[in-house]
Amino acid sequence: PWNLYDVIAEFLDAQRIPTGPLLLRDWDLAPSLLRNAGYKTGIIREILATYPSLPFILIGDSAQEDSEIYADIVAAHPQRILAVYIRNVRQHPEDSPAMRTLAERIVGAGSTLVLADDTLAAARHAAAHGWIRKETLDDVKGEKREDEGDGSKAPAPGVETSAPTPTVVVDPEVTAGELE
């Protein structure tokens, strides 16, 4: 939201993130705006049109429509989307028929799907492909340790804790038959 522009700009500067477009919108807490897939699809298409020669990586989570939106974007822009990183926030999504279908759609369009429990797995994949510098992995590991703490915190009431699910990487070299 625009009312957070100054805070976001300062954060980006403090993290030494290169200057680039920052696309924000006016936002309130109305449920219709919180789940507006049309807006997300439209803004991604606008960014792709603005930078037609650049490849992209799409990052989202498994809680909302990110996966489906991104599969549509990959299909509409083959070879432009290097990878789709989906942070898993559900238990055992790799067993889901919907996730298998999603993986087939993304791979069929020539991209890669990475389904992971944490940012570090996605960062490792990106570093292995040269999309981020390998030196940044130490920073990501440090941030992960800070987020997780020392393990002494009690779990939040009503929140189930479970063992991490496996990181799933599906790339174009995998045929649809191998996903079964």
Q: Is residue 112 part of a domain?
A: yes
Amino acid at 93: P
Provide the token pair at 156: 């939040």
- Structural domain for 19, as ranges: 2-149+163-179
Count of domains observed in the chain: 1
Is the confidence at residue 32, as pLDDT, over 80?
no
pLDDT recorded at residue 49: 92
42 lies in a domain?
Answer: yes
Query: Of 23, 18, 79, 17, nearest to 54 (Cα)?
Result: 79
**Torsion over CA of 57, 114, 95 and 39, rounded to 10 degrees?**
-10
The count of C-alpha atoms lying within 13 angstroms of the C-alpha of 26, restricted to the half-sphere facing its C-beta, is: 0
What are the pLDDT digits (tens) for 155-164? 656 555 555 5
**pTM to 2 decimals?**
0.70
Reported confidence tier of residue 37, pLDDT bands at 50, 70, 90: low
Helix (H, G, I), strand (E, B) or coil at 131: coil
**Residue 29 is assigned to a structural domain of this protein:** yes
pLDDT classification of 65: cutoffs 50, 70, 90: confident
Q: Do 49 and 23 contact (CB within 8 A), yes or no?
A: no
Residue 158 lies in a domain: no
Largest CA distance in the chain: 49
Give the number of other CB atoms < 10 A from CB of residue 68.
16
pLDDT of residue 177: 42
Mean local confidence (pLDDT), 10-36: 69
